[in-house]
Each structure stands twice: as structure tokens, then as C-alpha cells.
Amino acid sequence: MKHIGIFILTTLSLIVASVAAAATPVTLKNNPVVEGDSITFGDIFEGAGDKDDYVIASAPEPGKSITFKASSVAFVARKHGLDWQPTRAISLITVNRSGQIIPHQEVSLQIRAALEMEIGTDMFDMDLPNRFKNIHIRMDEEPTVAVESLAYNESKNSFTATLLAPASSDNPKRYRVSGKYFPQVMVPVTTRLIRKGEEITERDIDIKPVRANRVGRNIILDIGELVGKAPRRSIRTGATFNLNNLGDPVTVAKGKSVAVIFKRGGISLTMMGRALENGSTGDIIRVENTKSRKVVQAEVLNEREVLIITAQQQLANLR
């Protein structure tokens, strides 16, 4: 019996040795990537030979990855005649599936078109949530998306859309997307930097849509109220016009030399002066006589002339 046992052990050793000798040595690929719906030995190993196309697992969704224990992969490989042993440095094997991304612009465009149909206007701005990242599809699929259904809440300015991707697929996947939309109004804005006191012309004004909730009650909507006016403070390019920041254009700028006219009865005198403040036509400003250094109140007549206002005239103007 002892000799029989030795014979059996020897035979088993020879069988194991022959199997080991028959196993095909393979090398693990760096960063395995698959394109199809299945993962094969050929996707993971170099040198799998006739086992290249043998399917060992389902692939993840396009653009996703799946991770296996290295010991499990080694066991399956040995079972099918492939010789590979994981090292201490390799305990997990991650397989990525390639895919293409449907452009965010395409997604936004399709949702916007559906929303325009639902609310009956294109005068709105739209926000998609940050958490809605990308839709991945297979490399051989057309990067399109379609809106299967859309619901909106007018009081909350919100919407929810169900998307199909790819749109041309016989078996598309569904994605649920929620977002916000914001009604807009057309508002005059500046086409350039308009400095304090500059006269506003039609060339300085453009019209653009602005979210209605950002348009305050003092924002001017009528271009006719702007032409010929001037800002009290400079307005940057692309900004709206605020009623509280509008006045008449500066005719005489502070520091400018002007002719100071004095009239009383049949007497008329003219002297040179310096404006101590900005003034529009018809404004009363302080002007300094360049010779006597006396300061007088004068009405702005035009860019070059001001008229001294007597106390009696000032009182009459106030009345």
C-alpha cells in the first residue's frame, strides 16, 4: 500500500507539472481599456493567444470603469491555461471602457428647444445643474440626444426633462435632468465706456435680453429717455442705465475758462473767469473771476459763456 500511495503522489505531481508546463505565460496590460460590451482575456493580458477573445466579464457603461481582485483574475486565467501571478504591488485590476461625450451644448440646445415650445417664448435664460455632468455613449454611436418629455413649473421657473441618448439608437438610455429658467426682458445697455458728463447718443446704446429679476424699477427700458442725457457717474461697457444716474450733459467742465457776462439795465460787461464746478446748459454754477478772484453765481449759456445772476434774478428763478 505504501508503494501504491507513493505511485499516486508521483503521478499527481507529474500531472500538475505537465499542466503548469502547458500553461501559456501572459503579461498584464497597463491601464486595460475596452470598447465593446464584454471584457476578454485579450483586453487584460498580452500574449493570451487563442484565449484573446474569451469573455470573462461584462464591460461597464461607456466612460465608466470596473475593478477586479487580482487574485480572482489570476484564478480564472489559470483555470483557462494562462499563467499569471499577481505581485504584492498589484492587488486590484481596473478596466476602463472608452466612450464619447455628448457635447453639453447639444444637451442644452435640445432642452431649450423643447422648453420654448412649452412656454411659448424664447425670451428666457436657462441653467442646468452642476451635478449634471456628461452623457457617455459608445464610440460607434452618434453623439445626439432627444427630449422624450418635459414638465415645467411656471411659479418656480423650474423644469424637468427626460432625455434619450443616443437619439438615433433603437435602445437608448434615459437621463432625468432638472433645471431652472429665467424670463428675460429687452434692456438698453452701453456699447462703450461712457464717462461722467458725456452726452449719450444712439450709437452708445445697444439692446440685449436681461433676466427680468435683475431689472430694478429704476432701470431705463426706453431708449428715448436716454438720448441727449449724461451719466452722473461713469458707466462701464455693457451696463444698464439707471434713472438715478442720469442728468444733462456737462456743457462747462470744472476748471474751464469761460467768458463771464454781466448785464444790468443797458450796461453789459464781459470778463474772464474759471468754472469751479461742472454745469449743464441752464445750470447755476460758481465761477471765479480770474483777476479779482471773486466768486460769483452764473448761469451756463453755452460752452464758452456764463451769465452772472444777481440776487434778484436768483430769487425770481426760485419762484
15 — pLDDT class (breaks 50, 70, 90) = very low
12 — pLDDT class (breaks 50, 70, 90) = very low
Our CA angle for 86, 89, 92, nearest 5°, is 65
Domain 185-247 has CATH 3.90.1210.10: yes
Q: Which residues 6+ apart lie within 8 Å of 25 measured at CB?
A: 47, 82, 83, 84
- Of 148 and 309, which is predicted with more confidence? 148
Q: What is the pLDDT of residues 137-183, one digit of tens each?
A: 999 999 999 999 999 999 999 999 999 999 989 999 999 999 999 99
Assigned architecture for domain 257-318 = Roll (2.30)
The three three-digit cell numbers of residue 263, written as one number:
448785464
1 — pLDDT class (breaks 50, 70, 90) = very low
Q: What is the pLDDT of residues 174-225, one digit of tens each?
A: 999 999 999 999 999 999 999 988 899 999 999 999 999 999 999 999 999 9
d(CA 137, CA 132): 15
